Amino acid sequence: MRETISAFCDADQVPGYVLGVYQGGTTTTLTHGVANVTTGAPMTGDTGFLFGSVTKIMTTTLVLQQVERGTLRLDEPVADHLPGLPPGILVRHLLNHTSGIDADLFFPDATGPGALAEYVRRLPRECGTLFAPGELVSYSNGGMIVAGRLLEVATGRTYPDLLADAIYRPAGMATASTSAAEAILRPTAVGHFPGEDGIPRRTGMFMLPDTWGPAGGTPIGTVADLLAFGRAHLDDGGPLLSAGSAAAMRTVSADLGTPNTSPIGLGWLLARHGDTTVLSMTGASPGGVAVLAVAPSLDLVFVAYGNAPQALALHEDLLLGLLPETDRLTVSEHPHDLTPYAGTYRSNQLRVDVRVVGGALEETVTYEPADASQERIFTGFAGGRFPFPPMRYVPVGPGLFAPEGLPLDRPLGYTRQLLVSYHGEHRNAGGRLSRRVH
């Protein structure tokens, strides 16, 4: 692993990397490089980093704690607590990404205790829906943020306070924090993006606004913190949940049924590797990416963070090396007529134009910001506003396409996220749906 990490980081402009593995009572931590190219601070086992969307598993855990207390019910309408939201959305839909909320790039810039209330206040007015609640599956940042606000209303406490008191403390996440103001007191990594001169450039934005806290915008901690949280779920909920609630999180409750997306329990993405089920979530932050994976049958918890987006592929390679068997893409017969897939598809602030070119699909993705504030935050998160070049996709099965030139015999790790599938009037890329508009 150490050799793999070193070679990948040096070749792919990843300044620093930290990994933690727990298995069978033994914990191993590996580190490489620097946490910040500007300061030269080393990446160590005590370096904090943004959890990103790994926080969604914590948000889900918090909701299920309230379900156990009887404060919330999985099958009650969210609008009973948050008037103004679509009445068909149930609490369950927020946790298994079936709410249909179209807000993946919605970034209200608000801070402080009222941030989530401001997000939910603006959501119905500024964002639409991709499908009726429960009809399809689309990875939803907006759904998890609404779940965070639901927790605040149901308990009368702020989301950061709930996270610290009901997750960090009982799980033993001793060095985790809920804000940059806390994290700055300890060594903390910052993100980077590839530089045109071959030298990584540091991000100009450390974290997303407080409005994104429950989806992964603000929580920060170390590999030891995430290993402690993962072990709680390894141990049937440990000090956080009942065994029944932990089992519900790892039981399939939504599945789009295509190889480019994993089935979803409650919060967790569920991937099958032979006879092994892996509970996982990756977490992007401005110029960085974290991962948490739990394999109960192997008594295994895997945590890693790299301070450049391209580290996602390294996460996958290292994790797959710990698993006994990995699925591969199976190419099957497909329709020769590709015209039904052509058209224009939209989701929050993105337009995708699809046309048939020489037996393949050519897609052009265009970012159309709603306002200057949205553009500033998204481009800071992505490392700048850059044109998305047209991409060519070849058919590999009914409604399933792979990037032209992608080796099709690769294990379905990172490759899974590169595939595109079509489901009636919807296009699915990276687990996120866009809807055909013409």
- Is 189:16 a contact under the CB 8 Å cutoff? yes
**3-state SS record for the chain:** CHHHHHHHHHHCCCCEEEEEEEECCEEEEEEEEECCCCCCCECCCCCEEECHHHHHHHHHHHHHHHHHHCCCCCCCEHHHCCCCCCCCCEHHHHHCCCCCEECCCCCCCCCCCCHHHHHHHHHHHHCEECCCCCCCCCCCHHHHHHHHHHHHHHHCCCHHHHHHHHHHHHHCCCCCECCHHHHCCCCECCCEECCCCCCCEECCCCCCCHHHHHHCCCCEECHHHHHHHHHHHHCCCCCCCCHHHHHHHCCCCECCCCCCCCCECCCCEEEEECCEEEEEEEEEECCEEEEEEEEHHHCEEEEEEECCCCHHHHHHHHHHCCCCCCCECCCCCCCCCCHHHCEEEEECCEEEEEEEECCEEEEEEEECCCCHHHHHHHHHHHCCCCCCCCEEEEEEECCEEEECCCCCCCECCHHHHHCEEEECCEEEECCEEEEECC
pLDDT at 311: 97
Q: Round to whole Å and give the CA distance between 384 and 258.
A: 32
- Nearest alpha carbon to residue 227 among 1, 25, 16: 25
Name residues of the chain where pLDDT drops below 70.
411
Q: How many C-alpha atoms does 305 have within 13 Å on its Cβ side?
A: 37
pLDDT at 190: 98
pLDDT at 66: 98
pLDDT at 44: 98
pLDDT at 327: 73
Cα dist from 385 to 118, 302, 310, 353, 417, whole Å: 26, 33, 18, 19, 22
Q: Round to whole Å and give the CA distance between 125 and 35.
A: 40
Q: Round to whole Å and give the CA distance between 19 and 362.
A: 37
**Which amino acid type is present at position 404?**
E
Residue 386, phi-psi category: left (phi > 0), alpha (psi -120 to 50), beta (remainder): beta
pLDDT at 413: 72
- Is 334:402 a contact under the CB 8 Å cutoff? no
Cα dist from 115 to 55, 119, 124, 152, 209, whole Å: 17, 6, 16, 11, 8
| Domains along the chain with CATH numbers | 1-327 (3.40.710.10), 339-436 (no CATH)
